[in-house]
Structure 1
Amino acid sequence: MTAPSALRRYLLVCFLTWLPLGLMMASMVLLLAGRGLSLAQIGLVVTVFSIVTVGLELPTGGLADVVGRRVVLAASAAFLAAALVLMSVATTFWMFLVSGVLKGVARALSSGPATSWYVDTLHRIEGPGADLKPGLARGGAVESVSLAAGVLAGGALPLLVPPELMFPLAAPSLVGALAAAVLLVVVLLALPEPGRGAPGGALTGPGRGAPGGALSEPARAPGSLGSVLRDVPARVASGVRLAVGGPVLRRLMLAAGSSGVMLMSIELLTPGRLAELAGTAEQGSMAYAVVAALGFAGSATGSALAPRVARLAGGSAKGAIAGVVLAALSVGALAATAGLGGAAGLLTAGAAYVALFVGHSVAGLLCLEMTHNAVTAAERTTVSSTASLALQSGGILGNLTLAALATQAGVAASWAVAATVMLASALLFVRMPAPIGSSPAPVLPARSGSG
């Protein structure tokens, strides 16, 4: 396999992974409400999804490092297809709760393996010094494009489906299930498990950030089911020790938690704010779909620009600072304009939303590169799952605090707190240590077409 071929396969999987989630995004809450669930029950379904995701992040990351990326990605696609089919036909609270559990399992399984597959494959083709930024940037851009296309299509589908054919709000989740089934087939056919050594199958030299300069592992076939299950906890423990004990990864985990707090403030408060500005819940839903699509377009732009930002700023850590500051200022702008109404309120909210996701995507892509440069293939997906766990944990913290603050003091106060947390996290990238066991990776010019 060549590097361009690996990139094409990675981009296809990125697109198909996020398309089902984009399709269901605009209609999910309305579907649950239309089937008779109260707001409290809808909140419980979402909370169960988050708890399942957080609880399984590390075990599934360790599983991917033990049994391989393709198996775990295929299982994720299967769980997601089942969850969305159940959601489209569910009529009771308990059915939706089971669907939330299945979605949580799918989300945890999908956290990291695709990127780990691409990084491992590129390292095997080009060696451990391969420049990761261009491919990861394109992957992030494709994910955002997929979400934008999905949320727009998912918002329009209920308007196109005749009510006598099916419940219109169930159409997006059913189409999402079909997209997940396509993802399952693509993963099985297009993602051969990469070796985890250097080109030619040899072991690499000192690992980037591996304790004591440990050697990267070559690919190995898993043994019995018992040996696999015994290996997963050890791999999880190793990855957690690396994430918590490593000076680079520890900072990156804290940054991910801060991003979780900020993103939760957006997910919690933006739909209600836009509904208030638009006038009705239905118009607010359409406004949210449009603004969310614009935000995903901003995210795609940020991913494409990340290599150039890093080059101009003088390094990935400094580029991440620029992205974090832009995101924090954008949330601050949402807080400052929370009192505006009508068209002015919609325009300022939309502009701030786009700028926020440009900045967040720049920082997120460069954090992803720094994370992968600080680990070896042996614990790559486990550490990626640890970062996702930190993000989800920050979101749970934001969910528990910012909603109550918004109720007591208003939306502007919650956004101001989120902006402050995000801005403070920029300090984590100041004088970022170099990965243990390696010299800092050079910031190379962006390749053609990478932004």
Structure 2
Amino acid sequence: MKEATELGSARRRYVVVSALFWLPIGLAMAPGVLLFTERGLSLTAVAACFAAHSLTAAALELPTGGLSDVLGRRPVLAAAGTLNAVAFGLLGLGSTQALLVLGMGLMGAGRALSSGPAEAWYVDTVQAHAGPDAELRTGLARGGTATSAALAVGTLGGGAVPWLLGLVPGLDDRLRAATGHLVLPLSVPALLAAAVSIVFVLYVLSALREAPRERATLRGVLGGVPPTIGDGLRLGAVDATVRRVLLTAGAAGVAFAVVELLSPGRTARLVGSPETGAAVFGALSCAGFAMAGLGSALAPLAARLACGGERAVMAALGVSGGGLMLLAVTATSAGPLAQVLAVGGFVLFHLGIGAVGPNENDLLHRRVGSGRRATALSVQSLALQLAAATGGLAISGLPTGPLPWLGGGTALLVGALLWARRPESRSAAAPRAASLTEG
């Protein structure tokens, strides 16, 4: 009974942490691209801002993952929330490209710090109470559902706030005049996101308990991180399943770059104004993230129906890639049928991506031990961020139309094909994976 209570408490805390971290990101996401263009940035400059986020996250992924494995999950998560609070403040108030790039870079640093510790904390806690063969997929699925739900609520609210403020006569002009043109309706969601990030830090410090570690000194921390990074870099070379996870993350990064960079402008062009476009895109993103949450919730069922996590990942990537292909074929059409198909493609993309994560990470955690768990998740996030950065910069130079969407869909379908080959048996992989599962 006590064990069940502890496991249920760990699952609830993991769900809350996941929701509180991603809610502010959702708030800032819906008006983000439109806010940057309202500040006078071109699409290429916007892509550079997003690249600053992705490249910073990529550069810090392995060091921060190693830091979490050496120093602990809780302090690293608290640092991530603190950086995000500062970053959202800069995004809400920054009026120059330099400040916006700095804000996106700090947000990338927060993303790097957060990419492994919460999930690693949950898996560590479950395995400490129920053993190394404890069931993980359900908890990971609920964390994924909480993430998607928070993003859905955040994007809906982040899109609605500027639209509602725009309904008040003269409020836009009064906001600009009172703040020296620093605050406009499109920047209010980012300022709300900064406040939520502070709440996240307070919750992490008060709610995430972990086993005491040896007292860390600066020299000990710095000395322990490089070997952990080295282990992380060897993950994909040692184990075929881990290698597929990393390649799949790269394919997802390209797809996310396409959706995040092009969807807001595509929506605004259809409705005719940035504020209304932010509201419509927020509602559309809310539906997309709700589907991602549904996909995460259905991940255990997908694995049972597909007779294994590997086949479930392949099927989910196929669904997600098919969604981007629908967005490609409707990119130059504005009729009602094309719009319905485009919304369907957007939903399918998120549904499939939601089902990928829990099944993929269940496979990953069974190959990697506690001492390298956060590092493994950081390597996975590194692959996604590098692909997103390079993909976003490449996409910004392509002509408007179906080509960028086709590129994202093709990346996901190629990722699905990686899982078509029969996976090696666990017993065959065990000798080569021993160095990963120890520690």
Q: TM-score, normalised by structure 2?
A: 0.89
User: Following the alignment from structure 2 to structure 1, what is the Cα–Cα distance between the partners of residues 60 and 48?
Assistant: 18
- Of 369, 372, 375 in structure 1, the residue corresponding to residue 365 of structure 2 is 372
| Cα displacement (A) at 1:98 | 2.1
Matched, 1:421 2:408: no
| Cα displacement (A) at 1:127 | 0.8
Matched, 1:299 2:299: no
- Of 120, 144, 147 in structure 2, the residue corresponding to residue 143 of structure 1 is 147
- Of 124, 134, 140 in structure 2, the residue corresponding to residue 120 of structure 1 is 124
| Cα displacement (A) at 1:38 | 4.3
Gap change, CA 1:153 and 1:221, over 3 Å in 2: same
Give yes or no for contact 2:232–2:375 (8 Å, CA) kept in 1.
yes
Matched, 1:70 2:74: yes
* 1:337 maps to amino acid: T
| Cα displacement (A) at 1:280 | 4.0
Decide which moves more: 101-110 or 342-351.
342-351
Decide which moves more: 381-390 or 357-366.
357-366
* 2:423 maps to amino acid: M
Aligned counterpart, 2:85? 81
Aligned counterpart, 1:432? 423
Give yes or no for contact 2:292–2:351 (8 Å, CA) kept in 1.
yes
User: Following the alignment from structure 2 to structure 1, what is the Cα–Cα distance between the partners of residues 289 and 259?
Assistant: 13
| Cα displacement (A) at 1:193 | 1.6
* 2:190 maps to amino acid: S
Give yes or no for contact 2:65–2:375 (8 Å, CA) kept in 1.
yes
User: Following the alignment from structure 1 to structure 2, what is the Cα–Cα distance between the partners of residues 74 and 184?
Assistant: 5
Aligned counterpart, 1:221? 214
1:396-430 Cα offsets, whole Å, 9 max, x none, are 232243343x41xx521232232222212222223
- Of 191, 209, 226 in structure 2, the residue corresponding to residue 192 of structure 1 is 209
Matched, 1:174 2:191: yes
Gap change, CA 1:86 and 1:264, over 3 Å in 2: closer
Matched, 1:318 2:311: yes
User: Following the alignment from structure 1 to structure 2, what is the Cα–Cα distance between the partners of residues 231 and 382?
Assistant: 12
Give yes or no for contact 2:34–2:264 (8 Å, CA) kept in 1.
no
Aligned counterpart, 2:178? none
- Count of aligned positions: 412
Matched, 1:384 2:377: yes
| Cα displacement (A) at 1:90 | 2.2
User: Following the alignment from structure 1 to structure 2, what is the Cα–Cα distance between the partners of residues 128 and 399?
Assistant: 39
Give yes or no for contact 1:271–1:284 (8 Å, CA) kept in 2.
yes
Give yes or no for contact 1:277–1:345 (8 Å, CA) kept in 2.
no
| Cα displacement (A) at 1:238 | 1.1
* 1:427 maps to amino acid: L
Aligned counterpart, 1:346? 339
Matched, 1:103 2:94: no
* Aligned-residue RMSD, C-alpha: 2.0
User: Following the alignment from structure 2 to structure 1, what is the Cα–Cα distance between the partners of residues 185 and 393?
Assistant: 33
User: Following the alignment from structure 1 to structure 2, what is the Cα–Cα distance between the partners of residues 305 and 427?
Assistant: 22
Larger proportion of helix: 2
Matched, 1:270 2:287: no
Give yes or no for contact 2:48–2:393 (8 Å, CA) kept in 1.
no
Gap change, CA 1:274 and 1:86, over 3 Å in 2: closer
Aligned counterpart, 2:11? 7
User: Following the alignment from structure 1 to structure 2, what is the Cα–Cα distance between the partners of residues 282 and 4?
Assistant: 42
The 3-state SS of whatever aligns with 1:173 is helix
User: Following the alignment from structure 2 to structure 1, what is the Cα–Cα distance between the partners of residues 349 and 35?
Assistant: 28
Gap change, CA 1:33 and 1:328, over 3 Å in 2: closer
Gap change, CA 1:171 and 1:285, over 3 Å in 2: closer
Q: How does 1:50-65 map to 2 (within 5 A)?
A: 50-65=54-69
Unaligned runs of 5+ residues in structure 2 are 166-170, 176-182, 434-439
User: Following the alignment from structure 2 to structure 1, what is the Cα–Cα distance between the partners of residues 94 and 402?
Assistant: 36
Gap change, CA 1:276 and 1:171, over 3 Å in 2: closer
Aligned counterpart, 2:401? 411
User: Following the alignment from structure 1 to structure 2, what is the Cα–Cα distance between the partners of residues 259 and 270?
Assistant: 16
| Cα displacement (A) at 1:252 | 1.1
Unaligned runs of 5+ residues in structure 1 are 195-218, 441-451
Matched, 1:17 2:38: no
| Cα displacement (A) at 1:39 | 4.1
Gap change, CA 1:43 and 1:259, over 3 Å in 2: closer
User: Following the alignment from structure 1 to structure 2, what is the Cα–Cα distance between the partners of residues 342 and 284?
Assistant: 18
